[in-house]
């Protein structure tokens, strides 16, 4: 299957600082990537859809000025948590979709996740 990497795997930061998380598709080009957040013992919630070369689409309730997404190339999307606070502590997971073929939905493959702790 397709391989997606994330960096860093965990980060601890002080309240008020910004944190950048990278998501890379290693063996395919991804025009679309997705960012999810998962709180302990809960399911994954989609935060935003990241499209290469255009603005991200955010889900309802997700602050776009707080969670900045940049998809500058076909293999890299970044999520920056600006002015992080303890309530932003969570497990952030990205996914990449194998390129769309003739309008048929293709599988999403997930990165290993980044555990963010804000003190």
Residue numbers at the binding site for other proteins (CB under 8 A) = 1, 32, 34, 38, 43-46, 49, 91, 93, 95, 97, 100, 103, 105, 107-110, 112-113, 115
What's the min distance (Å) between Cβ of 8 and other proteins?
13
- What is the DSSP pairing of strand 57-58 with strand 67-73? unpaired
What's the min distance (Å) between Cβ of 37 and other proteins?
11
SS3 of the chain = CCCEEEECCEEEECCCCCEEEEEEECCCCCCEEEEEEECCCCCEEEEEEEECCCCCEECCCCCCCCEEEEEEECCEEEEEECCCCHHHCEEEEEEEECCCECCECCCEEECCCEEEEEC
What's the min distance (Å) between Cβ of 35 and other proteins?
12
What's the min distance (Å) between Cβ of 81 and other proteins?
18
- Output 82 or 110, the one with its CB closest to other proteins: 110
């Amino acid at each position: 299957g397709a391989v997606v990497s994330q960096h860093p795997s965990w980060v601890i930061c002080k309240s008020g600082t910004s944190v950048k998380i990278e998501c890379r598709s290693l063996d395919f080009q991804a025009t679309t990537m997705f960012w999810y957040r998962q709180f302990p013992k809960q399911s994954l919630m989609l935060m935003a859809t990241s499209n290469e070369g255009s603005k991200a689409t955010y889900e309802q309730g997700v602050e776009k000025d707080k969670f900045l997404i940049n998809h500058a190339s076909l293999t890299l999307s970044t999520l920056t948590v600006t002015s992080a606070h303890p309530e932003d502590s969570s497990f952030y997971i990205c996914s990449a979709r194998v390129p769309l073929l003739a309008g048929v939905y293709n599988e999403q493959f997930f990165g290993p996740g980044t555990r963010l702790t804000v003190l």
